[in-house]
Chain A
């Protein structure tokens, strides 16, 4: 059983560019969340998708947007990249049922470097 898979693993972009990160959830999971982890910090919640809709959003600007597809996979898009967007971006999936007491499964992350 494949876990959460993310692509690409590493990415280097220039300020002002746009980037798309991809995530496939663990089999049987229908809820996908994205987190940003800056160096030396804990992951920060960006947003969560369920049934192809954004359900909750953290304190991130509109430059951060996402999408969920019918097969539950998801994309994170970041426009007008800033140097401060450099971070590890983690995708997490959970089953919708019993979501509160079930752990989130995390992918290996995408390391984004903005130069």
Chain B
């Protein structure tokens, strides 16, 4: 069964510091992976997606993620944190059957930015 695991429910970094949010996946087939962000009292917004075209994926707001098959990881990074990056981040994998699909989410990582 496909799944994702996010390491660390809460990460706190200083403004301007490197952001690293960890995600590991489990999949018997090549996965389709996503990172979503959720600001307070809002829905989910896509940051970036991996669909096997390139292992280094660039997303919005300066975020990027690298797919590493040998480590079954898809960690999210940003070189320099900004106060506006404070939010909940979810790693996710797309799962499909013959007639349907769903997205399985990790438990989320809350990112706090210290001034």
> A90-115 toward B: CB 8 Å interface, digit per residue (1/0)?
10101000011101111111010000
Cα-based distance from A103 to B106 in the complex (angstroms): 16
Is A48 interfacial (CB-CB < 8 Å)? yes
Query: Is B100 within 8 A of A56, CB to CB?
Result: yes
Pick the contact of B94: A100, A106, A107 (CB < 8 A).
Answer: A100
Answer whether A100 and B99 are a contact pair too, CB < 8 Å, given A90-B43, A108-B42, A109-B42.
no
For chain A, which range describes its interface: under 10, 10 to 19, 20 to 34, or 35 or more residues? 20 to 34
**Is residue B107 within 8 Å, beta carbon to beta carbon, of the partner chain?**
yes
Whether the Cβ atoms of A99 and B42 lie closer than 8 Å is no
Q: Check B102–A45 contact: CB distance below 8 A.
A: yes
Sampled A-B contacts (27; CB under 8 Å): A41-B108, A42-B105, A42-B106, A42-B107, A43-B105, A45-B102, A45-B103, A45-B104, A48-B102, A50-B100, A55-B99, A56-B97, A56-B102, A90-B44, A99-B94, A100-B32, A100-B94, A101-B49, A103-B34, A103-B46, A104-B103, A106-B36, A106-B44, A106-B45, A107-B43, A108-B43, A109-B43
Q: Is B61 an interface residue (CB 8 A)?
A: no
- In the assembled complex, the CB of B28 is this many whole angstroms from the nearest CB of chain A, namely 15
Q: Give A106 to B105 CA distance when docked, in angstroms.
A: 13
- Rounded to whole angstroms, the CA-CA distance of A106 and B90 in the bound complex is 13
